[in-house]
């Protein structure tokens, strides 16, 4: 529309699919386009948002592959990638949103995004907590921890809980939820710094560095001499194999992710599945979007816990959209400490 203000719109664009091996910064590029700060004329029920924070999440690894049949579509070469983020509404033709509203949900990895299906977004009501939390603790990662632990695993006080990738966006919350319920909780992570964090900051009863354990089965037996009731699965492969042999009767496994497998051409075999029969183990995969109807219930629980200091959350912030490719690929090698997010704008 003539006369409307046009501004720069920096974007993170996919250059190459990465079907095997670790993605590199060079598989993405920063491009610049321009955008008018109005929803295009004639576009109904849409909003234009200014992106504030972008979330780097493990599920995005599969979107960097050219694959079909996944629950989430591949990114498109030559187009901006997208993912969960926090944004402010700049203009709206949707009756449910007005200029200045804050939202979280799927948005583009760019400075401004036109969202043509805003019904998939969540309007932010609680602004008396850090806004960055909606990229993790109060967003998709928090819901993932809540659903996987409470809905899938049906935990009980006194049970033995093991969390892999325990210092990440989801794991750090699962451990705290379990402790608040009165469970015994052990987590594993990939560095001394992360292991110390699990014990000192998140209150895990014990933690170990899986990279320093030549025998994962022995490590689990050391920490769980009586076995594991609940395993929150984030890793897969050899870790899952070791856990299966250490589960207790009627144990539950919430299969949230398997990050050790996402960049492999040949997936690791799991040899210990036979244990699910005599031990009556229930193992369930889940996708958090199936449970978003529970978000109000989650907020009712978590907001008071945050305000009372019962829940703590560690974030790893990368500054500027230019840092986004490095931040994203870093989560696949464990470079981040806590929830990885990208700060696009502070206002």
Please name every residue paired with 161 in a beta bridge, in sequence order, or none if there are none: 185, 230
Q: How many beta carbons lie within 10 A of that of residue 283, not counting itself?
A: 18
Cα(346)–Cα(102) distance, rounded to whole angstroms? 13
DSSP single-letter state for residue 218: H
pLDDT for residue 2? 47
- Check if the beta carbon of residue 81 is closer than 8 Å to that of residue 75: yes
Report CA-CA distances (Å) from 332 to 22, 259, 266.
7, 7, 17
pLDDT for residue 197? 94
φ, ψ at 242 (rounded to 5°): -65, -40
Angle (deg, nearest 10), helices 237-244 and 216-223: 50
Cα(224)–Cα(245) distance, rounded to whole angstroms? 12
Maximum Cα interatomic distance, the chain, rounded to a whole number of Å: 72
Residue 1 corresponds to which tokens in the numbers above? 């529309």
φ, ψ at 84 (rounded to 5°): -70, 145
pLDDT for residue 259? 77
Cα(279)–Cα(114) distance, rounded to whole angstroms? 51
pLDDT for residue 3? 52
Cα(305)–Cα(310) distance, rounded to whole angstroms? 5
202, 295, 262, 279 alpha-carbon torsion, rounded to 10° = 70
- Check if the beta carbon of residue 109 is closer than 8 Å to that of residue 11: yes
33, 37, 38, 40 alpha-carbon torsion, rounded to 10° = -10
The predicted-structure confidence for 79-88, as pLDDT tens digits, reads as follows: 999 999 999 9
pLDDT for residue 4? 67
pLDDT for residue 1? 44
> Strands 6-14, 28-36: parallel, antiparallel or unpaired by DSSP?
antiparallel
pLDDT for residue 114? 96
Q: Which residues of the chain have pLDDT under 50?
A: 1-2
Cα(139)–Cα(3) distance, rounded to whole angstroms? 37
The predicted-structure confidence for 224-267, as pLDDT tens digits, reads as follows: 999 999 999 998 989 999 999 999 999 999 999 887 877 777 88
């Amino acid at each position: 529309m003539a006369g409307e203000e046009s501004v720069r719109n920096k974007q993170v664009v996919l250059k190459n699919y990465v079907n095997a091996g670790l993605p590199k910064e060079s598989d993405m590029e920063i491009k610049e386009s321009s955008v008018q700060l109005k929803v295009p004329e004639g576009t109904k029920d849409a909003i234009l948002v200014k992106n504030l924070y972008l979330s780097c999440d493990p599920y995005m690894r599969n979107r960097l592959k050219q694959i079909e049949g996944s629950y989430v579509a591949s990114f498109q070469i030559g187009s901006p990638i997208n993912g969960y983020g926090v944004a402010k509404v700049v203009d709206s033709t949707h009756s449910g949103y007005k200029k200045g509203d804050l939202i979280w949900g799927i948005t583009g990895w760019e400075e401004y995004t036109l969202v043509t299906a805003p019904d998939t977004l969540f309007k932010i009501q609680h602004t008396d907590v850090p806004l960055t939390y909606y990229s993790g603790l109060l967003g998709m990662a928090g819901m993932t921890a809540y659903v996987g632990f409470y809905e899938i695993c049906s935990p009980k006080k006194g049970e033995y809980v093991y969390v892999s990738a325990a210092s990440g966006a989801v794991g750090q919350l699962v451990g705290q939820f379990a402790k608040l319920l009165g469970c015994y909780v052990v987590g594993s992570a990939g560095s001394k710094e992360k292991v110390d964090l699990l014990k000192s900051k998140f209150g895990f009863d014990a933690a170990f560095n899986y990279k320093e354990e030549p025998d994962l089965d022995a490590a689990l037996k050391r920490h769980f001499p009586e076995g594991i009731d609940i395993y929150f699965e984030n890793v897969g492969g050899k870790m899952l194999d070791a856990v299966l042999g250490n589960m207790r009767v009627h144990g539950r496994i919430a299969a949230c992710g398997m990050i050790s497998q996402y960049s492999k051409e040949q997936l690791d075999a799991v040899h210990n599945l036979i244990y699910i029969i005599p031990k009556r183990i229930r193992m369930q995969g889940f996708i958090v979007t199936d449970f978003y109807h529970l978000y109000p219930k989650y907020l009712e629980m978590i907001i008071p816990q945050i305000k009372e200091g019962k829940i703590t959350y560690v974030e790893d912030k990368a500054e500027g959209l230019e840092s986004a490719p490095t931040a994203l690929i870093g989560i696949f090698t464990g470079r981040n400490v806590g929830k990885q997010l990208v700060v696009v704008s502070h206002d």
